[in-house]
Amino acid sequence: MDRSKQRILVFQQNGGGEKKIEGIRRYAGDTIDMEVVSIDEMLPPVLDDTEGLLPDRIEADMVLDFLKHPDLSHDLARRCQEQDVPMVASGKKMKMEGVSAPPT
């Protein structure tokens, strides 16, 4: 990864963020380094533990949340907050410091 570029870590579930990811790649070009984490397994309605699904350490300048499962989004936001990494969770109803949740 080129340290002079902004590092963006994108989380998506079952391909739900592909069009947005494609748009980011298209318009950002080589101005950013983007890594995509895809969670494609079937998940129960309630997740008591997201260990193994989300990384312990967030290595990015910003996180984009395109996850569908609310427990995953909540735990991701908590980890980002703890590690002082800003997160954008577009369309989510999240009120947590460091998380921007603009309407879609």
The C-alpha atoms of residue 32 and residue 12 are separated, in whole angstroms, by: 18
Sign of CA pseudo-dihedral 47, 51, 53, 59? positive
Read off the pTM. 0.87
- Give the pLDDT band (50/70/90) at residue 91: confident
Instruction: Say which residue the tokens 């590690």 belong to.
Output: 83
The full set of domain ranges for the chain reads 6-100
Q: What is the CATH number of domain 6-100?
A: 3.40.50.2300
Query: Which residues on neighbouring strands pair with residue 39, listed in sequence order?
Result: 13
20-49 confidence digits (pLDDT tens): 999 999 999 999 999 999 999 999 999 999
Q: What is the mean pLDDT of the chain?
A: 90
The answer on pLDDT for 6 being more than 80 is yes
The answer on pLDDT for 14 being more than 70 is yes
